[in-house]
Structure 1
Amino acid sequence: MTFRKIIVGLVLLLAGCQTLPPPQSARQPADQQLDVPFIAQEKYQCGPAALGMMLQWNSLPGDAEALVDEVWLPERKGSLGIELMAAGRARGLLAYPVNRPEALFSELQAGHPVLILQNLALKRWPRWHFAVVTGYRDGGDRLILHSGTRETTTSHWNRFIRTWARADYWGMVLLPAGELPASARPGPLLHALAPQKKDALRHWQTAVSRFPNDGKLHFAYANALWQAGRKADALKAFEKTVTLAPTLAPAWNNLAYARLDQGHREAAREAVCRARTLAPDDANIDGSVAEITDGTGCP
């Protein structure tokens, strides 16, 4: 096959890719642009530059050169998304995934820039690139990005969605404690907050405020209270958890210890025995039963 035919074939392949139209939600409002600091990338270092912009938007230090050693992998000549998320968490920010077009526009409309990964070439021969989406125009027909060395550049939706899709729609927002993504859902939020160390308790408090009827989020909140030494508050949160998720055996197990800590020995026995009934094969709960019942076991 000649070089000319190869080029023509690639053009036809790209032209034939199916695309998705912008979500209807992008029409209201039809235009949105956020004020996000711009950092031009150096060489291959789009990851540190994109992360630096997100950090500066959060009023945190975000010098790209200072971030290189933290998130840039010389052997790959690039960064990994997991490294960028970890860097955000280390600074007390919630790193929440944005992996749907609807979620992308929801975050922009809520005033949150979105750091995304693109593949600017083909699946087989990828060219990875991190950028920050800062807005859109014309009902979503054009996206506005800080990308590479270009500030507030625009990309037609069809091109953008193809490059984003080839990176499996990887994206994230970085938000401070006390603020949640507009597109947040309980399951992904639980997963996103699980590795959080800095400001974890404040993040969990915000999560249960948004989703007051989710038992698993309440369980995580109760555990965070316990780890923070707020044991009386943790007891209340564990009690709330088992009303919301009565079949969650680990919650009953931890409730038993919280009750025991507050001097409620018989109530602690009842809770650990409920955990044992729900999870009869759990070795950890077997140990709790032996400890809390002084070896007498459950009826």
Structure 2
Amino acid sequence: MPLPRMRGGRVAAALLLGLLLAACQTVPPPQEAEHPPQQYLDVPFIAQDAYQCGPAALGMMLQWNRLPGDKEALVDEVWLPERKGALGIELKAAGRARGLLAYPVQSPDALFAEVQAGHPVLVLQNLALPQWPMWHYAVVIGYRDGGERIVLHSGTKQATTSHWNRFLRTWARAEYWGFVLLPAGELPASVRPEPLLRALAPMQKDTLAHWQAAVARFPDSGRLRFGLANALWAAERHDAARDAYERTVTLAPELAPAWNNLAYARRDAGDRDGARQAVCRAHALAPDSGNVADSVEEITGGEGC
């Protein structure tokens, strides 16, 4: 099963941790796990059938969100018979298709932050060796003893516990791949602007409340504000969208697509001079963009900038 590649600092940190684990040395849980020393989330349990841990784990995450999570129906949606498994990208896509935010959780600190915030985390583990992997999806639903024991719904076992270092080894072999699924308006405890933008960008359904929450949390992010403006425009809230585009180009004046869309918003409001200024600014920032060139032609009536 292909996995996302690690980049930059994640590679170095993972290699260092991997060396420690390979040497049979223990790695303590993050200090925040001591406050509180235990946490347990009420997450519905679905036992997996053979090789179908992906649909079962996804079903638990959906049911926790109070959505239908029938395992048999999910098998048809995300399980690949030729691989005898499910790809992580398909699990995330299934969540997004239901209007949920699929946000990555890729470190021990983030894992504990989410569980402490009341968010279960779907994780990928390699239960065997790197050379002969045995991929497995489980749902982290809590911890105890200051993080020394992790509580999971895993396979056919409900609320089973694993020693922290054993769990960490299996998670590390899967490059710390995991994610939360959250409803509109709720953000992860470990949220950061750029990963949030990447998590929101592929969403097609019920996005407005997600973008509103993102901008409320990071009001100075021009790129998130641009996403909100687009969602407002799609919802036909054109006045609010125009205001959001105006704010976007103030926060991120280098963002050519925002100037391009602002041109249409201004034209829609009857401001033809302002529309021309905006599209010409977009063209100056992205002179090789065919999309912007088409906008210049349309907005200026063929006169150009």
TM-score interval (norm. to shorter): over 0.9
The answer to whether the aligner puts 1:71 opposite 2:78 as a matched pair is yes
Matches within 5 A, 1:74-93: 74-93=81-100
Counterpart residue identity of residue 135, structure 2: W
Which one has a bigger Cα radius of gyration?
1
Task: Determine whether 1:113 maps to 2:120.
Answer: yes
Aligned AA (1:181): P
Question: Which aligned pairs between 1:35-74 and structure 2 lie closer than 5 A?
Answer: 35-74=42-81
Alpha-carbon offset, residue 209 of structure 1: 1.0
* Alpha-carbon offset, residue 20 of structure 1: 3.4
SS in 2 for 1:205: helix
Task: Name the residue aligned to 2:200.
Answer: 193
Shift of 1:282: 2.2
CA distance in structure 1 between the aligned counterparts of 2:67 and 2:26, rounded to whole angstroms = 37
CA distance in 2, matches of 1:85, 1:20: 29
Query: Where in structure 2 are the equivalents of 1:277-288 lying within 5 Å?
Result: 277-288=284-295
- Output the TM-score relative to the length of structure 1: 0.92
159 and 150 in structure 1: CA distance in 2 versus 1, 3 angstrom threshold: same
**Matched residue SS, 1:154:** strand
Cα displacement (A) at 1:17: 4.9
Q: Matched residues, percent identical?
A: 74
* 2:199 paired with 1:184: no
Amino acid at match of 1:33: Y
Partner of 1:151: 158
For residues 276 and 287 of structure 1, the distance between their equivalents in structure 2, rounded to whole angstroms, comes to: 10
| 3-state SS of paired residue (2:137) | strand
Contact 1:19 1:161 in 2 (8 A): no
Q: Distance in 2 between matches of 1:201 and 1:214?
A: 16
2:137 maps to 1:130 = yes
CA-CA distance at 1:55 after TM superposition: 0.9
Aligned length: 286
Asked if 2 retains the 8 angstrom alpha-carbon contact of 1:119 and 1:166, the reply is yes
Where in structure 1 are there 5+ consecutive unaligned residues? Answer: 1-12
1:23 to 23, 27, 30: 30
Cα separation, 2, equivalents of 1:215 and 1:281: 22
Q: Deviations over 1:140-190 (max 9, x none)?
A: 111000111111111111101110010111101011111111111111111
Instruction: Give the SS at the match of 1:145.
Output: strand
1:102 deviation in Å?
A: 0.7
The 8 Å contact of residues 21 and 27 in structure 2, kept in 1 or not, is answered as: no
Deviation at 1:281, TM superposition (A): 2.5
TM-score between the two structures when normalised by the length of structure 2:
0.90
Corresponding letter in the other structure for 1:219: F
Contact 1:49/1:64 (<8 A) preserved: yes
Does the 8 Å CA contact 2:102/2:182 hold for their aligned counterparts? yes
Task: In structure 2, list runs of 5 or more residues that go unmatched.
Answer: 1-19
Match of 2:248 in 1: 241
Q: Superposition RMSD on alpha carbons, in Å?
A: 1.5
1:74-102 CA-to-partner distances (Å, cap 9, x unmatched) read 11111111111111111111111111111
CA gap 1:284/1:18 in 2 versus in 1, 3 angstroms: farther
